[in-house]
Structure formats: C-alpha cells, structure tokens
Amino acid sequence: MSLMSGVRVLVGTRKGAFILTADGTRERWDISGPHFPGWEIYHLKGSPVEPARLYASQTSDWFGQQIQRSSDGGKNWEPMGNEFSYDGIPGTHQWYDGTQHPWEFKRVWHLEPSLRDPETVYAGAEDAALFRTTDGGKSWRELPGLRTHASGPQWQPGAGGMCLHTILLDPVQPDRIFVAISAAGTFRSDDGGQNWRPINRGLHSEYIPNPTAEVGHCVHRIAMHPSRPNVLFMQKHWDVMRSEDAGDSWREVSGDLPSDFGFPINVHAHEPETVYVVPIKSDSEHFPPDGKLRVYRSRTGGNEWEALTKGLPQSNCYVNVLRDAMAVDSLDECGIYFGTTGGQVYGSADAGDTWTAIVRDLPGVLSVEVQTLP
Amino acid sequence: MIRVVLPHHLRTLARVGAEVELPVEGAVTPRSILDALESAYPMLRGTMRDHATQERRSLVRFFVCGQDVSHESPDMTLPAAIGAGAEPFFVMGAIAGG
C-alpha cells in the first residue's frame, strides 16, 4: 500500500452531505460539511474514470430535485439540470390499495456514473424510472424501455416509495445494466438500457400470492464483484439471495444469519466470495436484533456467516442501516464503511474485523460511497 | 425594480441574499415575476413550479402585502406597491415537517 494513497467517503444525510477523507492508514479523518445544509442528500458518487468529478442528488419535499456536480473532489459544487420528465405519457402503476396510480417524479435515489465516460451518469428515480445524462448532468433523458415494460402496471411502492435504488453497470459487457426497484424486483438490460426483462426467478415473497410471480418483489439491494459480474448477491425484504447466471435464477443463501431481513449488501473488493450484510430484526422492527449492531460476513459466498462486532455497540443500539449506506474501498487491506439512521459512520480498515466510528453525530445517513484515491 | 424575498434554501441554491431585485417587463403578475426570477437564476427552475405544467409546487407559497396569493391565478395583477418595489414578493416554504 502506498502511503500516498487514501480514501474519500461520500456521505449523504437527511440534512446535507459530508465528505470524510483519510490517508491509506484510515486512522485520522478530516470531515468537511455540511454541504447543501438542510437539504436531503440521497446519494453522492464519483466518476470511476475521473475521481475528482462528483455528482450529488439534492432533494426537498418543498423545492424538488437538484443535481449538483463537483470537479474538485467536493470542495466546490455547481447546480446542473434538474428536469426529469418521463418519456411520453407516464402511465400508471399499482397503488397501495391495489388501484392504478399515475407515475409521478419525486426524487433521484441513486446516481451511477459511467465506468468509461465522466459525462455519462445514470439516475434511478422515484417513481421508478431510469434516466441518463451524457453531458455531465446538464440534461437528463429517460430510458423509457424499463418503465414501459409490460409489467409496469403491476409495480407497487414499498414503504419508502416506488424507487429505483440500485444500478449496477457490468464492467465486462458494457451494454449490460442491472437495476433494482422496490417493489417490482430486479431487471436486466443487455442493450444499453433500451430493452429490459425481469430477473426474479427463485425469489419468494410471502406477501405475493403467486409463488412464481415475475414482479412485485421488494428487492432492497443487489451487489456484484467487478471481476465476476455474472454472480449477483441480493438483500431482499426478507432473504439473502445469490445468482450465478446474471440474475436468470436465484437461490437463497441466508443460512445461519440471525435475521435475513436487511437493506445493504456488499462484496469485498478483492475476495469475490466475501459478502457483507447488516441483519435487521424484522420488517416491522427496523433495528438490529437484541440491540446489537452487527455486520455479518460470509467468506463462502453465503450460507455460513460470522458476526463482526469489535468496535460496534453491543447493547441498546436501535439504529438502521439503509440500502445505499454501505461501501467498500479497494486498498490492499479492504476497507468497509457504513452509516446509520442515528448519524454514525463506522469504518473498518481490516475487512470488518474491527470498527471505529469515524463520526458519531451526523443527521440520519441515507447513503455512503467511498473512493479509493491514488 | 421588483423585490423578491426567497426562502433560505433557495437563497443558498441561487447563492443570493435575503432579497433580490429584478426588472419585470409588462404586467406585474406572479407569473411574470417567476419568469424573471428563473431567467436570472436558472437553478431555481423547477423549485417553485413544475417544469412542464408551470403549476405551483404544493409546498410553496406566495405572499404580497400581507396576503397569501398562492391559490390565485398566476396571471393576477399584483398591487402597485409590488411593481413600484415598495413591497417585496415573498416566496415561502409551507410550514410542514422538520
């Protein structure tokens, strides 16, 4: 590990964004922020090909959606285009009471910069749709093939809204994109986002009467290791799942977890079979079982899990960890980070063996990303 | 010049102080004021009214001379004191949430 290397952790919260930086030892942290104080920052993410280029989703129930862009690693920001219009007549989806309800844009949950071009970014929206900019955020156009899939009228909002919250870009097949929507499920495009198909075979959700339902599953998060993009991991509403075939089929790998309900899931930067989840007691009680905040790690790609507790509160802890609030760096000793609804951001510089609170009293954390800097 | 008072979050977004001054051509109405405001500060587009329909966002309110005109026509003629700059046009966030 070079002593010059470092990490930049991008934290979106209910009341602004924070940027945490450290050198490669990850022992001493500099904290900047709040950026955009008072605004909800659902997500920030940097371009893999131009790390100083950051994008942020800034939202407000009062004043709507903003997209902010930085060209200097988050020191300065400028507002970009904020018009997200559905292509054509938006149509309807299923509402909570089973009636049909018109698609209405509310906010951008997730921004996924292209693996190849710093000007291209994908945006996952609520109500669920995928948008793309190719001019660095000045203008956004929907990729309507997803929303207009024949199953669209059966999609329904989860408790957090009908959000497109996960976008995975395949590093091997550039035209392959995976997305996940609550509560519709997981979808894959093999042609750059023009056409989509649901990839939910093997998922079982008790609240859906049809055991082989194509859509309607509340997928909370999916993850992949870039060296092996056909292997996907999923944290569903209940159940941790695994696919060997790019989502064509799934099998459960919850194994010995104390609860298989949760939100985030992530893969170790250098070990494609090492997976992390944060079990939550239940869909009705969104906090860790027994008041103990435990990350669970599987080194076998699922089924056998170990609790990681050192440095995490093991009594009276009733925070949640949201779906976009866990990330891994790619330093030689893989670092892992997560943020809580109680405003703590925890980091581990040894793949989860030990943890420290980088910061304890931020607003509720919505998202955590990390950039590994040269 | 027309005076417009913006709520805190729109001030930080547009990087302006509590009050901005704008020239407004023709009839002084909520629509003509918002058109001038958005033209001078493009980042405010979509924050007070919908991009496409131009409908007021539901949690945004407009006040003039102590009166709530949020539910009036965007083409209503505003009092002369607004056009003369004696009184400001207030944009406010509705009281809701925390």
Read off the pLDDT of residues B12-40 as tens digits, 9 standing for 90 and up: 999 999 899 999 989 999 999 999 999 99
Does B24 reside within a domain? Answer: yes
Q: Which residues pair with A141 in a beta bridge?
A: A132
Does B87 reside within a domain? Answer: yes
User: From the CA of A370, how many Å to the nearest CA of chain B?
Assistant: 26
CB nearest A62 (choices: B43, B52, B59): B59
Q: pLDDT band at B97, cuts 50/70/90?
A: low
The answer to whether A25 and A353 have CB atoms below 8 angstroms apart is no
**Element of type H or E holding B10:** helix B8-14
What's the number of domains chain B is made of?
Answer: 1
Q: Is pLDDT above 90 for B92? A: yes
State the ipTM, two decimals: 0.94
Residue A158 is predicted with a pLDDT of 87
Inter-chain touch B46–A62, beta carbons under 8 Å? no
pLDDT tens for each residue of B47-64:
999 999 999 999 999 999
Does B20 reside within a domain? Answer: yes
Does B41 reside within a domain? Answer: yes
Q: Output the average pLDDT for chain B.
A: 95
Q: pLDDT band at A4, cuts 50/70/90?
A: low
Inter-chain touch A63–B60, beta carbons under 8 Å? yes
- Cα–Cα distances in angstroms (integers) from residue A66 to residues A109, A146, A300, B93, in the given order: 12, 23, 41, 16
User: From the CA of A254, how many Å to the nearest CA of chain B?
Assistant: 38
Task: Name the residue of chain B whose CA is nearest to A105's CA.
Answer: B50
Q: Is pLDDT above 70 for A9? A: yes
Could you write out the DSSP letters of every residue in A284-296?
Answer: SS-S-GGG---EE
Q: pLDDT band at A1, cuts 50/70/90?
A: very low
Helix (H, G, I), strand (E, B) or coil at B11: helix
Does B23 reside within a domain? Answer: yes
Inter-chain touch B60–A38, beta carbons under 8 Å? no
Does B98 reside within a domain? Answer: no
The answer to whether B9 and A38 have CB atoms below 8 angstroms apart is yes
Q: Are strands A295-298 and A275-280 parallel, antiparallel or unpaired?
A: antiparallel
Task: Name the residue of chain B whose CA is nearest to A58's CA.
Answer: B13
Task: Name the residue of chain A whose CA is nearest to B7's CA.
Answer: A63
Inter-chain touch A63–B47, beta carbons under 8 Å? yes
Q: Is pLDDT above 70 for A3? A: no
Residue A210 is predicted with a pLDDT of 84
Inter-chain touch B9–A66, beta carbons under 8 Å? no
Q: What is the DSSP letter of A24?
A: T
Q: Output the average pLDDT for chain A.
A: 96
Quote the CA–CA distance of B10 and B89 in Å, as a whole number: 14
The answer to whether A333 and A7 have CB atoms below 8 angstroms apart is no
Q: Is pLDDT above 90 for A233? A: yes
Could you write out the DSSP letters of every residue in B13-39?
Answer: HHT--SEEEE---SS--HHHHHHHHHH
CA dihedral (A167, A170, A174, A179) in degrees, to 10, reads: -30
Mean pLDDT of A85-108: 94
Q: How many CA atoms lie within 13 A of A159 on its CB side?
A: 7
Quote the CA–CA distance of A203 and A93 in Å, as a whole number: 21
User: From the CA of B45, how many Å to the nearest CA of chain A?
Assistant: 8
Q: Is pLDDT above 90 for A2? A: no
Inter-chain touch B46–A65, beta carbons under 8 Å? yes
* Chain B residues near residue A82 by CB distance under 8 angstroms: 43, 45-47, 51
CATH number of the domain encompassing residue B79: 3.10.20.30
> What is the domain range of residue B9?
2-93
List alpha helices for A6-110, DSSP H: none
